[in-house]
Amino acid sequence: MKKIIIANWKMNPSTSHEARQLFNAVRKSARKLRGAEVVIMPPFVYLPLFKPSAKIKLGAQDVFFKDGGAFTGEVSSRMLKNLGVSYVLIGHSERRELGETDELISQKLKAAALGGLNAVLCVGERERTKDSFPTLVRDELKKDLKGILRKFASKILIVYEPIWAISTTKGARADTPQNFFEMSIFIRRVILDILGKRAALKIPILYGGSVTAKNAAGFLKVKGAAGLLVGKAGLNAREFSKILEVVKS
């Protein structure tokens, strides 16, 4: 199975010139890549600057659940598809922090899958306290995947991204491949309840949270790991290219 390596650029870089430079550098290092798909998720405004290719796909960091109309500031699945976008991040913890609810996330997931995009759902606990973990991840999955038709399960990917391990979290701690392994089994168990056996076996589960060239191999080696969601390290062309080297080896 092809590994999927996603670079979430968040609200970076500040100019289209830098965005082009970074994209071109990634394109260069992805050229010889085998057995992996790179997905670049830049801010919306840079999407028209890039052309997707066999090696590099384009992703957006958010999408709205309506097709069009009076929704100031929003962007639809159709608009994204029209720009060559094939993936979209939904429910990233930074958006949840800004007030995005599970209800909204669930609507966005449905709209993205229906619109033919690969919907990358992020889940993960803020703290590892006894009463919030791992029930919080289960609750997020249950609410976010509520009402999704089984036929759309093939359009869904899940990223386990514990907030305490994200590089910009104050006092971030490193996660371990062992924890990712345990959490991916837990997530599959929850998917089994919601979407059935086929989806539980098939839905790709990726890891996110301070991924670097140093720790990438460990997370990728976890049985069943489908790939990585990379934040900070994806903004550094050299570091990201080293991560791609790890995928090759």
Give every CB contact of residue 213 below 8 A, 6+ residues apart in sequence.
233, 239, 242, 243, 245, 246
Q: Which is nearer to ligand PGA, 184 or 210 (CB)?
A: 210
**Quick one: which of 121, 151, 146, 137 has its CA closest to 226?**
121
Q: Which is nearer to ligand PGA, 91 or 208 (CB)?
A: 208
CB of 97 to ligand PGA, least distance (A): 11
The answer to whether 92 is a known catalytic residue is: yes
CB of 44 to ligand PGA, least distance (A): 16
91 part of the interface to ligand PGA, by CB under 6 A:
no
Q: Which is nearer to ligand PGA, 108 or 232 (CB)?
A: 232
CB of 159 to ligand PGA, least distance (A): 8
Catalytic pick among 37, 92, 125, 140: 92
Tokens 């405004």, residue located: 45
Catalytic pick among 37, 125, 140, 161: 161
Q: Which is nearer to ligand PGA, 112 or 230 (CB)?
A: 230
Q: For ligand PGA, which residue of 80, 120, 166, 243 counts as binding (CB under 6 A)?
A: 166
Convert residues 8-47 into a mask of x (bound to ligand PGA by CB under 6 A) and - (unbound).
x---------------------------------------
Q: Which is nearer to ligand PGA, 141 or 199 (CB)?
A: 141
Q: Which of residues 183-242 bind ligand PGA (CB under 6 A)?
A: 208-211, 229-233
Given CA atoms 57, 27, 61, 188 in this order, what sign does their dihedral have?
Answer: positive
179 part of the interface to ligand PGA, by CB under 6 A:
no
Q: Long-range contacts made by residues 52-58, C-beta under 8 angstroms, separation at least 24?
A: 52/84, 52/85, 52/86, 53/27, 55/27, 55/30, 55/31, 56/26, 56/27, 56/30, 57/86, 57/87, 58/83, 58/84, 58/85, 58/86, 58/87
What residues line the site for ligand PGA (CB under 6 A)?
Answer: 8, 166-167, 208-211, 229-233
Catalytic residues: 92, 161
